[in-house]
Amino acid sequence: MKIVILDAYTVDQGELTWNGLTDFAEVESYERTSPEDVVSRCKGAEIVLTNKVALDATILNKLPRLQYIGILATGYNVVDIETANRQNIVVTNIPAYSTESVAQMVFSHLLNIVSRVDHYARENKQGKWVSSPDFCYLDHQLFELSGKKMGIIGLGNTGMATARIATSFGLQVFAYTSKEEEDLPFGIKKVDLECIFKQCDIISLHCPLTETTHHLVNKERLISMKPTAILINTGRGPLVDDAAVADALKNGTIAAYGTDVLTTEPASADNPLLDAPNCYITPHIAWATREARQRLIDICTENVRAYLDGEPVNQVN
């Protein structure tokens, strides 16, 4: 049996190993795979593992020996599920491996915005504190989180972890969720989207990307937000209209945007958010702590083991 990993470097970064998979089969691992090389590299493999390399109908139709696709992520839009079903290919994903890491990034962005950590560190290097006539150097307002309202859109694993941290900061937590209010932990109030956008000081996005959530944050909703509001996105880039958010920042419609994701990744050079004021962008790294990446590899290995034992887990088709 042969296992092919199409884009191993996105996960292992050259520092983690896939040794557990060698217990099951011969493993061919590629750091990256271009679209034109997918079929030649996968030919003869019964198992293919992919993070962001797409496996569409055209590719799957050329791989008659393929029996199992392991997606090295939670989202599974990189695989044509309908074609996989027709060809009896089992498809699995990796759920909940980066929950704590992503929730941590939410507050990394938020604390940077309200406490201006990066700003003051840079100012110090420019000698601003050294030359200050006062014992402290203060040129921007700082804000406490305690007592403010945080709206969380989507209360799955990551949304719930974010809510837990939020309550420890003394934030009032409002959630837009399909869960019943009586099933929510103490301190989380179920509300509608209108309430989230109109009343909350901070909004954090954790919902899946679907037809109905595409551009969930648009010009109309941004206008309804407080001018002091902060928007955080560690979910999916297309949940927000990048151009509308850039305009809102330039016009002072909202105060700040912290995001780990953009509509196009890597970022397009002409993305208006890149030079928007009070916009803080990290390059899709919320999931990528060493612990989360190791967890991903471990879950992947167990997914393959379960499949070979005839009892697939984390199957999405």
| Amino acid letter for position 304 | V
Q: Are strands 188-190 and 149-153 parallel, antiparallel or unpaired?
A: unpaired
pTM comes to 0.93
Distance between CA atoms of residues 235 and 225, nearest Å: 19
What are the catalytic residues? 236, 265, 284
Residue 304: name the closest of 18, 32, 41 by CA. Answer: 18
Residue 98 confidence (pLDDT): 97
For residue 182, the one-letter residue type is E
Structure confidence at residue 42 (pLDDT): 98
Q: What is the pLDDT of residue 164?
A: 97
What is the pLDDT, as a whole number, of residue 78? 96
Q: What pLDDT is attached to residue 126?
A: 95
Q: Which residues of the chain have pLDDT under 70?
A: none
- What does the pLDDT read at residue 137? 96
What's the one-letter identity of residue 63? L
Rg of the chain (C-alpha set)? 22
Q: What is the pLDDT of residue 281?
A: 98
| pLDDT score for 12 | 98
Residue-level pLDDT at 16: 98
